Chain A
Amino acid sequence: MPDTPYLIAAVTVSAAVTWALRALPFAALAPLRSSATVQYLSTRMPAGVMLILLVYCLRDLPLTETRALAPALALTVTAALHLWRRNALLSILGGTATHVVLMSTVFAR
């Protein structure tokens, strides 16, 4: 088990790297903000970024096992709720509740 000094160091390193990744590009990109290409990217990247992150969350889905049905069904519930009601809170809670129920019952190890 990790001791406290190690945990403090890990948190510090993580915070420093994460903040640097977020802050440094702003300084470097100041001259670029007026570029038409940058503006083109800025209007199109948000949707794509979220999709890539979604695939990232599902990257370890065990496609050859029936257990994969739990996240697949939960994702279907999430998307269906959102297309139907457009309420983010309802969609996230509904999908997560579906996943918890399935993983704790039908697909419990």
Chain B
Amino acid sequence: MGTPGTPAAVTDVPDRSAAFKDSTSVGLGLVPLGLAFGLLVTRSGLDWWWATAFTTLIYAGSFEFLLIGLVVAVAPLATVALTALLVNIRHLFYALSFPLDRVKGSLGRAYSTFALTDEAYALATGERARSWSGRRIVWLQVFMQVYWAAGATAGALLGAVLPGSVTGLDFALTALFAVLALDAPRDRRGDLPTPLLALLAAVVARLLFPEQLLLAAFALFTAGLLARRFATAGEPRHA
């Protein structure tokens, strides 16, 4: 630029560029996922632009796949709300570690909480993110939602031309979580009990509470971590 910008504008550019780079590897995984979502929207009989509306206004990946099934069946709004609550209940736990305190301004915080997805949470709580500014985190979330909404829109528009025999695109969500799960332990090398505890919580929840797997698994996992902490704490508890 030929003209000098304000201090905020000057510092914004490096944060935006850094956020774009940060978001590329995991964020671009959202594109095939978005394509799959958009494809499912049109194949469910909805107009293509609902894919854009869903991904822009809700932005909760795995729940949005479920939402397609719910709205096509014209489920009662109470059922929609309850499903949104149960499927996204895990986001209650994200507040424990997501660095919202680094984000300045009410608009930034409003958007940052709105766009606190699993992927944003995983990236922003990783080791590399310890030094990230709040602005960088918000831009990261903006880019990731753009990938998601753009992918869904493209998928919906492609829905009419792809042959019906092409199926299985929804595996992208599973692959995404597998990648994030494999990346997370690298931040804490040697902490094997934690993933084992999570796996145990998930399997137990799957067997005992199949209809509420996520809620039960998160509760068991948190309880297990707390029990482990107090069982192994070196310092006095009253400190």
Contacts and interface: CB of A to CB of B under 8 A. Distances in A.
Interface string B92-118: 111111101100000000100110101
A14 B167 contact: no
Interface in A34-92: 37-38, 40-59, 70-71, 74-75, 78-79, 82-83, 87-89, 91-92
Contacts of A38: 96
Interface stretch (B1-9, B12-20, B82-90): B82-90
A53 B182 contact: no
Given A38-B96, A92-B172, A47 B217 contact: no
Contacts of A89: 24-25, 28-29
Nearest to A108: B165
B202 A56 contact: yes
Interface in B96-152: 96-98, 100-101, 110, 113-114, 116, 118, 121-122, 125-126
B84 to A, nearest CB: 4
A49 B96 contact: no
Contacts, number: 259
Contact of B229 (A37, A53, A91): A37
Interface string B184-227: 11011001001101110111011000100110011001100110
A49 B100 contact: no
A103 B170 CA distance: 11
A18 B58 CA distance: 7
Nearest to A55: B202
Contacts of A103: 167-168
Contacts of A58: 174
A39 to B, nearest CB: 8
Q: For chain A, which range describes its interface: under 10, 10 to 19, 20 to 34, or 35 or more residues?
A: 35 or more
A67 B187 CA distance: 35
A42 B226 contact: no
A17 B58 CA distance: 9
A68 to B, nearest CB: 13
B60 A10 contact: no
Contact of A44 (B45, B91, B126, B188): B188
A92 B179 contact: yes
B181 interface: yes
B169 A96 contact: yes
Given A18-B58, A54-B174, A82 B182 contact: yes
Contact of A46 (B95, B121, B210): B121
Given A17-B85, A99-B168, A46 B174 contact: no
Interface of A: 1-2, 6-7, 9-15, 17-19, 21-23, 25-26, 28-29, 32-33, 37-38, 40-59, 70-71, 74-75, 78-79, 82-83, 87-89, 91-93, 95-96, 99-104, 108
Q: Nearest 5 A-B pairs (CB), nearest first?
A: A42-B97, A48-B198, A103-B168, A25-B95, A47-B184
Given A43-B188, A47-B198, 4 more contacts: A1-B72, A11-B54, A52-B214, A102-B168
25 contacts: A7-B71, A9-B77, A12-B57, A13-B80, A14-B84, A22-B91, A29-B95, A29-B96, A41-B222, A43-B97, A46-B187, A47-B184, A48-B197, A49-B90, A49-B118, A52-B217, A53-B181, A54-B181, A55-B206, A55-B213, A55-B217, A71-B171, A79-B182, A82-B183, A95-B174
